[in-house]
Amino acid sequence: MQKRTLGKSGLEVSALGFGCMGISFGYGPAASREEGIAIIRAAVDGGVTLFDTAEAYGPFTNEELVGEALGPVRDRVVIATKFGFKFEGGKSAGLDSRPAHIRDVADASLKRLKTDRIDLFYQHRVDPNVPIEDVAGAVKDLIREGKVKHFGLSEAGVQTIRRAHAVQPVTALQSEYSLWWREPEQEPLPALEELGIGFVPFSPLGKGFLTGKIDDKTTFDSTDFRNVVPRFTPENRAANLAFVEWLKTFAERKKATPAQIALAWLLAQKPWIVPIPGTTKRHRLEENLGAAAIPLSADDLREIDRAASQIEVHGARYPEHLQKMVGR
């Protein structure tokens, strides 16, 4: 597995990371503890060194699983987790990025992850009630104490990124980015390049849609987040299949799968982009990791861009209440 450096920070990770959320949360019933540990360790064996979790995934259970799975190889991997929510009765109860809360979350995450440092600590969503300078200052203190190594932001807007970066250099921004959601190209990506900040795209396979395994007849488990995503209504899925059909044809020509082309396309955009696809299936993990070895020529990239620009994507990527929390 090739390595990449997230911006100017010097944080070196595998070209593809691993998003751990879906093992415990968001995409139907949680995998068993044994299955979760097995897939994370298989990713380590495949050369992955960046593992992404958050206290919100579960909540709390995903961090515990990641800590247990990575304990034996802790010094070979980079663990990213997140702060910024509060929880009541095991459910999210809104945002909280007050400095005292950030410190409490860091201490609790360290215990669950069974480690003495968090390699990359993201603010999960921007809290409009707490100045970002205070947030960055709190993380700066944790870095000074050795509890945290690097500071990250998730789904933040450009002005917030700049203000945070002036207090404590931001190592990475994590936001959704894929062939199916290209809005980051308009504002965040040029700013990240200017500031020397890495980019970690989540949902690089469009929440599974770009694998080509989902159509308008697919049904999701009642606990699956995609049931409330406008882009995943049966009508929108039917409309969105046109691009996936094109992607399948292109992938066949390259002797690859649609998922591999989608990931290879992301890797070809910038050398400081590190996508974090997640899966609970061993064969999907191997398929995803294979994307790092697929070269796309300048002509290939132009052809993909041309096809993508001609096909309108139907449906918003978040329900309205979640959409309000991004880009602030």
Cα distances from 48 to residues 154, 175, 280, 286, 319, in angstroms, run 21, 20, 15, 11, 32
137 CB-contact burial (10 Å; exposed 0-12 / middle 13-18 / buried 19+): middle
Q: What is the pLDDT along the chain (328 residues), one digit of tens a residue?
A: 999 999 899 999 999 999 999 999 999 999 999 999 999 999 999 999 999 999 999 999 999 999 999 999 999 999 999 999 999 988 889 999 999 999 999 999 999 999 999 999 999 999 999 999 999 999 999 999 999 999 999 999 999 999 999 999 999 999 999 999 999 999 999 999 999 999 999 999 999 999 999 999 999 999 999 999 999 999 999 999 999 999 999 999 999 999 999 999 999 999 999 999 999 999 999 999 999 999 999 999 999 999 998 888 999 999 999 999 999 9
Q: Which domains are assigned to the chain?
A: 3-205+270-293 (3.20.20.100)
Give catalytic residues, as residue numbers.
57
In this prediction the pTM is 0.98
Question: CB-side exposure of 64: number of CA atoms within 13 Å?
Answer: 8
Which DSSP state fits 128? Answer: T
Establish how many alpha carbons lie within 13 A of residue 44's alpha carbon, considering only the half-sphere containing its beta carbon.
19
